[in-house]
Structure 1
Amino acid sequence: MPQMPTLSELVGLVLLDGITGPRDPVQQIAAAERIAGEFTVLGESLVGFFVELARAEGCSWGEIGASRGLSRQGAQQRYAPLIAQLTVEDLVRTGGLRGFGDDALGCLRRAQARAGRLGHDAVDSGDLLVAVLDDPGGLAGAVIRALGADPAEVRAGLEGDADATTDRARPAVGQDVRRAIDGALAEAHGAGVTVAHLFLGLLRTPGSRAGQVLVAHGVNRPAALAHLLGLAGRPAGESS
């Protein structure tokens, strides 16, 4: 196991943090708290990674909780916030995105890159919807147009924060996006997850930022699903 930094080494990091100016003991406290917080977040992400790994391998919340003396609900309450600190690449490594095709993974990565450019702590549903609309296949845009809306206007409803300039290297996958991911898996019915499934997953959460924008433009899951199934040559009754 790699050796953890010693107290002396951490003290050195705090001293280096303010080396360009006169020593300020109060500012050093703030620097120490920031560095300590980074270790806390890293440790929580480590636990969240292995909880997600267990979930991806089929362990239930009840099984995870039993080993820690927690109920199913208690385990979910304790560990779900830690899972929420994971990035797209973390989810790939745990197997949480197993079954996602290259186009769907690319869409999630574009959403994460957008969130990072805008300085978001987490990828939200708006970031994901913009990435879905930018998909080279253009299927979501075609569905939106078929339902009488303009994809450009839908996108415009998500661009209010596009002038932000703070870059964040590792935005986590936000809860609304996790719900969209779960929804996409459900929509795929065991088949490979595509961008179209992510679009339907977003439509399963009409209260999210993306869901509200889509609903405001008259785009809902039943209508979108019917159109997609029509494109695939299947009657709408074959899927729920």
Structure 2
Amino acid sequence: MVIAPVQLTDLIVTVAQEHADALGRLTAAVELSGQLDELGDHLIGHFVDEARRSGASWTEIGESIGVTKQAAQKRFVPKESPDLKPSFDRYTDRARRVVVLARHHARFSERIGTEHLLLGLMDESGGVGAKAIAKLEGAEGTTRLATLNALDRTSRERPPNQPFTAHCKKALELTVREALRLGHTFVGTEHLLLGLLSVEECTAAEVMATTGITKAAAESYVVAEFTKAITAPRQAPPGG
């Protein structure tokens, strides 16, 4: 049996230290409980992804988590259905603008892909994600050029409920997971970049691989920027 690294006593102490009154503590406990549920979902999702990469079948994965193959696939395989929309509640204003810009770049497409999301990310030039790309790419502007070259030039009518591709939905899911992994309560453009780089078989990640941008280098840049901002006097973290 795996022993949880965080004990109930630790959580109680954390809530009690931050709130003086009983009702404030109760409210904080409910919020923390929701965060823990989300962390649990992403914890399982992380190891489902690992099991798939190691060659495990969906039947085996279902048996490991106590559900059917179909239930496991329904829970963990991203769909292109417009009815299954990612939640953008935690997104910063910059990160939300990236999604809006991605829709703009996909205006002649039936779906919103990772390539459109990457273009939106670079358009939001003030964000940490775009700054990381500019810092890490082999030569200035090569990532944008490579992304534009990778676009499907066939003009199609955009459906009323334009869906994200399965790869794009996976990247958005991993975006939230990256934020949680780094201990951030918000989702910024830096997390979008890390999410895109986590889906190795998607167009955006393949493009960035050709221009010298790796996930390890991007994460190092993001962590360094946050460390710099936190240690600087009277300066807020650079989330965006």
SS at 1:172 equivalent: coil
Q: Which deviations, in whole Å up to 9, do the C-alpha atoms of 1:211-231 show, x marking residues without a partner?
A: 011111111111111111111
Among 174, 181, 185, which residue is 2:176 paired with? 185
> Within the alignment, does 1:85 sit opposite 2:81 as a pair?
yes
User: In structure 1, how many angstroms separate the alpha carbons of the residues matched to 2:178 and 2:75?
Assistant: 26
Counterpart residue number, 1:172: 163
TM-score, scaled relative to structure 1: 0.58
Q: Which amino acid aligns with 1:106?
A: R
The share of aligned pairs that are identical, in percent, is 20
1:114 offset after TM fit, Å?
Answer: 1.8
Counterpart residue number, 2:108: 118
1:159 offset after TM fit, Å?
Answer: 1.5
Structure 2: gaps spanning 5 or more residues: 1-36, 46-65, 229-240
Of structures 1 and 2, the one with the larger relative CO (CA 8 A, separation 6+) is 2
> Within the alignment, does 1:231 sit opposite 2:225 as a pair?
yes
Among 204, 213, 218, which residue is 2:212 paired with? 218
Q: Indicate how the Cα distance of structure 1 residues 150 and 223 shifts in structure 2: closer, same or farther if over 3 A, else same.
A: same
Among 71, 95, 105, which residue is 1:104 paired with? 95
Among 111, 131, 151, which residue is 1:142 paired with? 131
User: In structure 1, how many angstroms separate the alpha carbons of the residues matched to 2:78 and 2:176?
Assistant: 21
SS at 2:69 equivalent: helix
Q: Any runs of at least 4 consecutive aligned residues in structure 1 with deviations exceeding 6 A, and if so which?
A: 58-61, 79-82
**CA contact 1:143–1:224 (8 Å) conserved in 2:** yes
Counterpart residue number, 2:27: none
Q: CA RMSD, aligned part only?
A: 3.2
**CA contact 1:118–1:162 (8 Å) conserved in 2:** no
Structure 1: gaps spanning 5 or more residues: 1-54, 62-69, 235-240
Q: Indicate how the Cα distance of structure 1 residues 215 and 83 shifts in structure 2: closer, same or farther if over 3 A, else same.
A: closer
Q: Which amino acid aligns with 1:218?
A: G
User: In structure 2, how many angstroms separate the alpha carbons of the residues matched to 1:147 and 1:100?
Assistant: 24
**CA contact 1:147–1:218 (8 Å) conserved in 2:** yes
1:145 offset after TM fit, Å?
Answer: 3.2
Q: Indicate how the Cα distance of structure 1 residues 165 and 229 shifts in structure 2: closer, same or farther if over 3 A, else same.
A: same
User: In structure 1, how many angstroms separate the alpha carbons of the residues matched to 2:220 and 2:75?
Assistant: 37
1:191 offset after TM fit, Å?
Answer: 0.9
SS at 2:138 equivalent: coil
